[in-house]
Amino acid sequence: MTAMEFLPVLFMVAGIVLVAGATLFVSSLLRPSNPYAAKNMPYECGMDPAGEAAGGRFRVQFFILAILLVVFDVETMFLFPWAVVLKDIGLVGYVEMFVFMLLLIVGFAYAWLKGALEWEE
């Protein structure tokens, strides 16, 4: 492949960056800018914030649980392409996915035993 074949892609990326930048610039000129204390407060469904969230701080367990969810979701996404080509990759691919799933289960068990999935009050 030559560099000329990628020229339309380069033009498309440049156009997208230009439109996004122009949109952000124009919106920053047109929007009202009047910050005040009530506007900058955390918002909880129309109620005044209470507890730890009132100061903008969240518990570490929330973030650990969110990271674990993302990690296991992304790792689970690897199962779909593997299932599509399972007949083509044969026994070697099957064993490799078994090892992958075993590592995934070991990671889940480790997180569970360390208490990362517990939501303590």
Looking at residue 7, its amino acid is L
pLDDT at 58: 67
pLDDT at 56: 62
Q: Print pLDDT tens along the chain (121 aa).
A: 787 888 889 999 999 999 999 999 999 999 888 888 777 776 656 666 666 655 666 677 778 888 888 888 888 888 888 888 888 888 888 898 899 889 888 988 988 898 877 776 5
d(CA 120, CA 86): 42
The domain locations on the chain are 58-121
Residues contacting 104, CB < 8 A, separation 6+: 72, 75
Residues contacting 86, CB < 8 A, separation 6+: 93, 94
Which residues pair with residue 47 across a beta bridge? 44
DSSP 31: S
- pTM greater than 0.75: no
pLDDT tens figures, 10-29 = 999 999 999 999 999 999 99
Tokens of 59: 């518990």
Q: Please return the burial class of 108, using the count of CB atoms within 10 Å of its CB with bins 0-12, 13-18 and 19+.
A: middle
Q: What phi, psi does 44 have (nearest 5°)?
A: -125, 80
Q: To which residue do tokens 């790792």 refer?
A: 75
